[in-house]
């Protein structure tokens, strides 16, 4: 048993979609979220640079006493997870990967769409997963150009964002995809826009949030690291940028609750 925090790291706001899943399922766990913010977006940086940034972030989370670290970023996972596991063998890590396997098992049309960053789509890990599970299926990939920037600017509802989402998704839909994988942790913030663009077409949209949360639970159990019941979870937000960015992280993390709360107050 350990009441030490779980560390969750991303280039920016994206990993908050994973943070929310973990917090909902594991309310006793304290969480430290590190959103780089200074070097975001990672999506088209060279692999070596992303690996350096990931290592610095992990060191910072380890200095904070984290007992397990979730690399809540597909791009950083693709560039650095093997290196991190070698470098810090005593630390349990959970990485993020586009949910290609479940998508290949579920598609009826045989066409799977995967939207992710350039770096994730060209990573060895992604190519190996496609080779392993994509047999007999057509995998149509697309880079979500401008999507991360829109989320970082809190511009999910802007008309320009909808235009960018449409521009990326229409060719994937036209190729016959009946399931679209969101392979970047920023993208679930765009779900309402993505669903608007899909409209009444019978297309499922999936992300990795719930599967990652399950993996966190199983690693906590395997290492005997669950927090004691009712110890009082604490949520902290760190960044490589400035205090203002940390405050924005906190606001975005709790944003869905503020909306619910406002609705309740209104009713």
By annotation, the residues acting in catalysis are 73, 184
Among the listed residues 107, 129, 185, 239, the single contact to ligand DGL using CB under 6 A: 185
Sorted by sequence, the CB contacts under 8 Å of residue 127 that are 6+ apart come out as none
**Interatomic CA distance for residues 209 and 258, integer angstroms:** 21
Among 51, 100, 179, 184, binds ligand DGL (CB under 6 A): 184
- Which parts of the chain fold into alpha helices (H)? 16-25, 47-63, 74-87, 100-106, 118-122, 124-133, 147-152, 159-174, 191-198, 209-222, 243-253, 255-266
Which x/- pattern over 112-141 shows residues binding ligand DGL (rule: CB under 6 A)? -----x--x---------------------
Q: Which stretch binds ligand DGL (CB under 6 A): 38-46, 79-87, 160-168, 191-199?
A: 38-46
Distance between CA atoms of 238 and 19, rounded to whole angstroms? 13
Q: Of 75, 17, 78, give the one whose Cα is nearest residue 42.
A: 75
Cβ atoms of 208 and 62 within 8 Å: the answer is no
Shortest distance in whole angstroms from residue 176 CB to ligand DGL: 25
Interaction mask 139-168, ligand DGL, x per CB under 6 A: ---------x--------------------
Q: Is 7 in the site for ligand DGL (CB under 6 A)?
A: no
Coil, strand or helix at 1: coil
The interface region with ligand DGL, picked from 41-49, 132-140, 156-164, 237-245 by CB under 6 A, is: 41-49
Binds ligand DGL (CB under 6 A): choice among 42, 93, 126, 245: 42
The residues of the shown chain that bind ligand DGL, judged by CB under 6 A, are: 10-12, 14, 40-43, 73-75, 117, 120, 148, 184-186
């Amino acid at each position: 048993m350990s009441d030490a925090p779980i560390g969750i790291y991303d280039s920016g706001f994206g990993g908050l979609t994973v943070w929310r899943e973990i917090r909902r399922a594991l309310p006793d766990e304290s969480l430290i979220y590190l959103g780089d913010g200074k070097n975001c977006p990672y999506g088209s940086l060279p692999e070596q640079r992303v690996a350096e940034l990931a290592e610095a972030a992990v060191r910072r989370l380890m200095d904070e006493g984290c007992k397990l670290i979730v690399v809540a970023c597909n791009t950083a996972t693709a560039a650095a997870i093997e290196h991190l596991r070698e470098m810090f063998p005593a630390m349990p890590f959970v990485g993020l990967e586009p949910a290609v396997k479940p998508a290949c098992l579920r598609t009826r049309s045989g066409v799977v769409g995967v939207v992710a960053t350039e770096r994730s789509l060209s990573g060895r890990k992604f190519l190996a997963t496609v080779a392993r599970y994509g047999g007999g299926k057509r995998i149509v990939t697309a880079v979500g150009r401008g999507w991360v920037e829109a989320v970082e600017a809190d511009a999910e509802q802007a008309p320009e964002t909808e235009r960018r989402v449409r521009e990326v998704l229409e060719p994937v839909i036209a190729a016959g995809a009946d399931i679209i994988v969101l392979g970047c942790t920023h993208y679930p913030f765009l779900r309402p826009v993505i669903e608007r663009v899909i409209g009444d077409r019978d297309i499922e949209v999936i992300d990795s949030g719930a599967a990652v949360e399950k993996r966190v639970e199983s690693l906590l159990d395997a290492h005997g690291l669950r927090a004691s019941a009712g110890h009082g979870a604490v949520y902290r937000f760190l960044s490589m940028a400035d205090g203002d960015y940390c405050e924005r992280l906190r606001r975005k993390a709790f944003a869905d609750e503020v909306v619910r709360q406002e609705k309740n107050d209104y009713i």
